[in-house]
Amino acid sequence: MKKGAILVLSGPSGSGKSTIINAASNEIGEYYFSISTTTRQPRVGEVDGVDYFFVSKESFKEDIEADNFLEYAEVHGNYYGTSLKPVQEAVEEGKLVIFDIDVQGHRLVRDKMNDITTSAFITPPTLKVLEKRLRARCTDDESVIVGRIKNAKNEVKAVSEYDFTIINDTVEQAREEFIIVAKAARLKQSREDEDKFTTQWLG
* Residue 15, marked binder: yes
Q: Is 77 annotated as a binding residue?
A: no
The Cα 177–Cα 108 span in angstroms is 25
Neighbouring CB atoms inside 10 A of 7's CB total 28
Q: Which ranges in 25-170 belong to alpha helices (H)?
A: 57-65, 84-92, 103-113, 127-137, 142-155
Burial degree of 110 (CB within 10 A; 0-12, 13-18, 19+): middle
Residue 94, annotated as binding a ligand? no
SS3 69: strand
Can you tell me the distance from the alpha carbon of 106 to that of 161, in angstroms, rounded to the nearest whole number?
Answer: 9
Q: Residue 132, annotated ligand binder?
A: no
Determine if residue 11 is labeled as part of a ligand binding site.
yes
Q: Give the residue ranges of the annotated binding site.
A: 11-18
Q: Give the residue ranges of the annotated binding site for ATP.
A: 11-18
